[in-house]
Structure 1
Amino acid sequence: MEDKKEFIMNKKTLSIITTTAILCAMLSACSGAASASSSSAAAAESSAASSAGAEQAHDNLIGGVLERNSIEVGTLNAWIDAKDKEGSAQSGYVSPRNSFENKQFASLNAMLLELKAGRVDFLRLPNSVANYIAATDDTLKYVVGVREQHYHMAARTEDAALCDELSNAFQELKADGTIDKLVEEYITNANGNPTNSTLKHIDGAETHIVAVTGDLPPLDYISADCTPAGFNVALLNAISEKTGCNFELVQMDAAARLTALQSGKVDLIFWLACSGTAENDPQTDGITLTVPYFEELSGFLSTSQATLDIIAETYPGMRK
């Protein structure tokens, strides 16, 4: 990693709120103290200084992610376990679990404040979210990742019939091109702040309560006047047409969503997983997922192009 010293910015040591595993190896921290020779105190001093400088130069980058209840970390751990199993026989393999520091946040706004204050180096977000934020703030830059992410809706296991109904609706909406049109309008060509805030209402139909956070614009978007809008509203309207049911949106903090679902305060939440496979279902009893309705790659957001260059060089196939 010596060739990447020029990219490393000296950063003060942070008090990490929560240290967890994250996507892939970025930078390896140097370790080991310089050994002194009894015959040369000067050489020992020089060696110690060199080692200390190397350690400082190789300080780990610190990444920010939304906490578990907003972006599922259990699926990430499963991914890392698979990488460890694959890499265990490789010489020099470094587990992603020990590669760099990860600081978790309860909201997107908190993450952005820390990024701009220089207390984290980059944010790991869905690509559409990183792109949307960078397009509205010329001090931020982003790079497309390589890890695929899948969007689901989550319900309690006793509401498995509701999950099946939604899964059938998603499959029909994919087959008839509706979801592709919504993605193009509200994600690919997102321009400014979405204004589609009206949910359809069918008289006499069953109503399902859905929690939203506003932490994943332009998908999960909350306007300045606290009104949900954007892709998720359009998606729920399309589901209403297929199923004949109504939806009511309730705004809450990301950290409260899972508890609200488990306790029955809401019927559904939007869920982002690292993989669409069954083994990466939520690591939480009593929760079940629909089939994925949208897939995309991850993205990285930073104020520093040098940081993004490190990320792009680390992951083959990434696009700047």
Structure 2
Amino acid sequence: MSLSSPRPVPTAHLFTPLHEDLIRVLRPLDPQDWMIQATPGGWRVRDVAAHLLDGDLRRLSFQRDGHSAPESPASPEDYDGMVHWLNQLNADWIRAVERLSPAVLLELLEVTGPRVGELFESLDPDVPARFPVAWAGQSESSNWMDVGREFVERWHHQQQIRDAVGALPLTAPWMLGPLLAVAAHALPAAYAREDLPAGTRVQIEVPGDHGGAWVVERGSVSANDPLGGWRLLEGTVGHPTLRVRMEPALAWRVFLRHPSEKEIRTGMEVEGQVELVAPLLAARALMV
């Protein structure tokens, strides 16, 4: 199989079914269910739901309505600075909505979710986005990538809620396949932190309808390239420096969480320079 540049990943049409799934899992919850811890950092189900609401409101305000977004003190290239700033914004919001009941949060989400879906479907996927995708090492992104980033984040947070309340995971191929294709764009930024020779190729394979095959390779380094010559390609090669085969259930955890050693042992096969697995496990298709 030959290599090619990654194709745009359409996800705008997935926001409506993703939102409907969210409402279906939240609506029957009892008040005490909203208080269950849902993240390692201590966010409860209600906090994750409030964070999703915040994302909807900000998108509608800044992108649909042209409201001025607060300026980040950090540049898109300053990953740690961006994360610190976003964490502060998120904490401020969670404190503010503590006064809202779960019923009000749910009612607001029922309003904002469809409108965000309409907004994303109205965008030309190929024009430059208002917000670059920092976790992909991009200082400018196309709309399809920005919308894909939002899909990945919303899927991830809904999965946190589902895990907390014992609901089934969102792992249908029509949803997980696009998620992995967008998340794979985190690979060049992850490997750019390593000092590896030009020509290094790491091949990632996820079998089945959920998956795909990608190669992240290091080429020549040009001036002002934040990715240090690393780029993502679709396809496979005959003799990569490292070949990794991951089951779909592990693949999304690699990009969005920190899988356990047991999950890695049972869901991953490795051939080649095994030390190059470490940047893969450090890749994150999320900011926070």
Report if TM-score (shorter chain) is over 0.5: no
Structure possessing the higher radius of gyration over alpha carbons: 1
Q: With structure 2 as the length reference, what TM-score do the two structures score?
A: 0.29
